[in-house]
A = this chain, B = another copy of it.
């Protein structure tokens, strides 16, 4: 089997402007090309689509992740291609990969095998520059903040209470914790600071939740960068940074059109973290795709306890989206991992509890019909597959085998047919887990008890103090975004399968006044990854003709 990049480079891509005309009926003037195989859709054309009816929105989510990955992006792409195979007008909505991790462990993030979005090198590297724009807008605010303090600090910011860090799209552990403004009075007031990776920026979350350029600017202005000595919040608007930040982001707000290896149109746009942020592609891209296609397949980060929960309770709630069904991706290998230390069929049997829990959550708490998609590997035995299918039959849940990784869309046709049946039946009653007017701690408890099946939620002294402050400041109405390990329903990554009765400790809260959610930090959350001992960057290369190798 060739590598992902070899498959991608061997593909015959269609030029994006004619593809958009043929597949989506988009006129040339609606598109701004970036090379011949990428284009941005103009925001004014998107506005003109408003009167059209919406297509069906299909969420691809997964069981609790295991280190080798389950193939959620691959399944999203394969399902989109398969829907096209069976004659439906389909589109795919994905997040943009972060550039930093490509140089670390992970390689690319544009699908894999015969289910990829292309041009994969571009998508994995600079793409259309959206992440660079997010990083610069973020860092402009940081520079204006320190500049304001340097030039007299009229707003009275307390240098000990600045919450706005800086960002770079690189895995660079040396920047996690730094001191800045050293070297004398000409360089400002020394203070502690640090860099996060660009995807962890609140500006990224804002870009992905904004519904228009005006809404983007309004949200940017609402960002709280720090506090005065008497704990009054100071915003980006008070620093007069919102206009320039929005100017830097105006092109980034327009969604990016590319194609799959089979020519299915895909919008790849935005990419917030799925722990400290909501982990979904942009609202603008999803809404646009729903106007252009009858079936829109999208994904959310990590497992259904994190990404799907936030997709429902943050993105769909705020953007008024109505998903029709959820595909839960699982692999036999991952289910057996959840059943360890048992071996073989016993491990698989035990690990099925994880899948069952996610299916229950999706149906009971998100109000969606779940379809289980087994991302099939050659190593899977007939007994193993029969065991999974029999269990799903007992739970009265559809279960479909899919081989899109090796076969492309053809390998996911049964999945596509199941999705169409569910969407046509229109039985989805999307539900949110909490109401806007519930107090913040009750919202956190609702997610923890219903989705994570926790026995109790504890709040640290710091978190309690923050909750009181947030209430006093009028942020009680915001939804919550829980940052915890993706490897367990609990906050202990070693508790696999379907733990219950555990406790959740909320250590601190982080306000995202512009993105409009409150993040509850439960455990160690890394917002700046490091590179491994032998980073992928050492193997990445480009030849004299510009052909890149070593991305995978």
Contacts and interface: CB of A to CB of B under 8 A. Distances in A.
A348 to B, nearest CB: 36
Interface string A101-114: 00100000000000
A186 B548 CA distance: 32
A401 interface: no
A170 B247 contact: no
A133 interface: yes
A36 interface: yes
Contacts of A132: 126, 129, 132, 136
B139 A168 contact: yes
Interface in A136-150: 136, 139-140, 142-144, 146-147, 150
Contacts of A250: 542, 546, 548
A217 B243 CA distance: 39
Contacts of A246: 541-542
A174 B168 contact: no
A110 B33 CA distance: 23
A431 interface: no
Contact of A214 (B139, B171, B244, B544): B544
A34 interface: yes
A155 to B, nearest CB: 13
Nearest to A526: B186
A537 B244 contact: yes
A188 B174 contact: yes
B173 A181 contact: yes
A285 to B, nearest CB: 17
Nearest to A40: B35
A126 to B, nearest CB: 5
Interface in A221-278: 240-241, 243-244, 246-248, 250-251
B129 A147 contact: no
Nearest to A152: B533
Contacts of A43: 546
Contacts of A428: none
A312 interface: no
A179 interface: yes
A530 B172 contact: no
B172 A183 contact: no
Copies in the complex: 2
A178 B180 contact: yes
A44 B243 contact: no
B139 A133 contact: no
A531 interface: yes
Contacts of A136: 99, 126, 132, 169-170
The listed residue with most B CB atoms (<10 A of its CB), out of A174, A193, A539, A540, is A174
A14 interface: no
Interface string A515-552: 00000000000000011010101111111111010110
Contacts of A544: 212-214
7 contacts: A126-B248, A129-B129, A142-B172, A143-B170, A146-B174, A147-B173, A243-B539
Given A213-B546, A240-B538, 4 more contacts: A129-B132, A146-B174, A173-B186, A174-B180
Interface of A: 32-36, 43-44, 99, 103, 121, 125-126, 129, 132-133, 136, 139-140, 142-144, 146-147, 150-152, 166, 168-183, 186-188, 193, 212-214, 217, 240-241, 243-244, 246-248, 250-251, 530-531, 533, 535, 537-546, 548, 550-551
